[in-house]
Amino acid sequence: MVAVELDGVGKTYGDEVAVEALDLTVADGEILGVVGPSGCGKTTTLRTIAGFETPTAGRVRFADEDVTHVPPERRNVGLVFQSYALFDNMSVLANVAFGPKMQGVEKAERRDRAMELLELLDIAELADRAPETLSGGQQQRVGLARALAIEPNILLLDEPMTGLDAKLKDRLRREIGSLLDELGVTALYVTHDQEEAMAMCDRIAVLNDGRLEQVGTPREIYESPANEFVAGFVGSANLLDAQLDDGTVDLGFARLDAVADDTSGDATVVVRPDDIVTLLSRHRTDARAFEAFQAPPREEASS
């Protein structure tokens, strides 16, 4: 089932195009990563789903309901920011209970719900503390608990790990990943860190310059990049110019069998570092460059 659907969504500011004709769906219970260089439109996409930006073209749907013009407070969307944005005028518990309170949940019940989430995130002992006295990792957990407390239609995470140190990031990433899976939460995970997206997301959308370049599982994106941009942005890659002709790929220094043989012309061959196997040759002096290609390249992208 589709939880969120962007149908031809576009957003322009004056002459500046932030997002162009974007079609994207997030399935129920799925974690969709949105990656791309800064200024590619990923934050605009997130804010459009949250309702803080009204698209200049296209529709936004939650399940089958058109929410394009529904204000943010009535979309039931959880937001987690890089800067945590906790309410310092309230205790940790009150922060988490804030959403249910706005929904009109009774005091005892919203307290229970908040406590339950704090326990789930392993920070129950911080319930009465003031947010500003917590560490970055703890604050991020509170932020997550607060967003989950409203049982959101979709959880939007905007670079949630960027401010944390590498070791903590790694731990939190694993914990949050399994928690979201366990709770069956639908999430959109915006990050500039493609490695993070690979580790956490079920599918990844690669954005560049306001356009969707490719969407697919981490494996598809890595192994079958749709174009040079995706190949270069996700993981490291060697991009080689080649001629595609009659079922063979001519690299200039070597000829290989093409995966698809129905096209011809200029092509770019993507070689992942882990595709390269160096052979211990007994005739090292005779070793030729093309010996490096043990496995055939998995995809050619016509340019």
Which one of 90-98, 185-193, 216-224, 272-280 is the stretch in contact with another protein (CB under 8 A)?
A: 90-98
- Name which position in 17, 68, 72, 130 contacts another protein (CB under 8 A): 72
- Name which position in 27, 70, 85, 287 contacts another protein (CB under 8 A): 85
Interface pattern 137-156 for another protein (x via CB under 8 A)? ---------xx-xx-----x
Which CB sits closer to another protein, 92 or 215?
A: 92
Nearest to 293 by CA among 243, 245, 240, 223: 240
Buried residues in 7-23 as b, exposed as e (16+ CB within 10 A): bebbbeeeeebbbbebe
Residue by residue, DSSP assigns 69-112 as T--GGGT-EEEEETT----TTS-HHHHHHHHHHHTT--HHHHHH
Would you tell me how many other CB atoms lie within 10 Å of the CB of residue 211? 16
Alpha carbons 116 and 124: distance in angstroms, whole number:
8
Nearest to 201 by CA among 211, 187, 183: 187
Cα angle value 174/191/171 (rounded, 5°): 20
Which CB sits closer to another protein, 95 or 208?
A: 95
The torsion region of residue 27 among left (phi > 0), alpha (psi -120 to 50) and beta comes to beta
Interface pattern 175-194 for another protein (x via CB under 8 A)? --------------------
The tokens of 29 are what?
């219970």
Maximal CA-CA distance, the chain: 79
Nearest to 67 by CA among 80, 57, 54, 81: 54
Would you tell me how many other CB atoms lie within 10 Å of the CB of residue 224? 17
Q: Tell whether residue 16 is a contact of another protein (CB under 8 A).
A: no
- Name which of residues 32 to 61 contact another protein (CB under 8 A): 50-52
CB of 296 to another protein, least distance (A): 48
- Name which of residues 97 to 136 contact another protein (CB under 8 A): 98-99, 102-103
- Name which position in 42, 75, 141, 173 contacts another protein (CB under 8 A): 75
CB of 50 to another protein, least distance (A): 6
- Name which position in 27, 68, 81, 264 contacts another protein (CB under 8 A): 81
Q: What residues pair up with 257 in beta bridges, in sequence order?
A: 248
Size of interface with another protein, in residues (CB under 8 A):
29
The tokens of 263 are what?
């096209």
- Name which position in 22, 32, 79, 201 contacts another protein (CB under 8 A): 79
- Name which position in 1, 64, 89, 236 contacts another protein (CB under 8 A): 89
Which one of 68-76, 117-125, 244-252, 279-287 is the stretch in contact with another protein (CB under 8 A)?
A: 68-76
Which CB sits closer to another protein, 79 or 215?
A: 79
- Which residue, chain included where needed, has tokens 């990943």? 177
Contacts with 29 (C-beta within 8 Å, 6 or more apart), sequence order: 3, 184, 185, 186
CB of 93 to another protein, least distance (A): 10
CB of 214 to another protein, least distance (A): 29
CB of 48 to another protein, least distance (A): 13
- Name which position in 16, 64, 73, 286 contacts another protein (CB under 8 A): 73
Provide the binding-site residues for another protein, judged by CB under 8 A.
50-52, 71-79, 81, 83, 85, 87-90, 94, 98-99, 102-103, 146-147, 149-150, 156
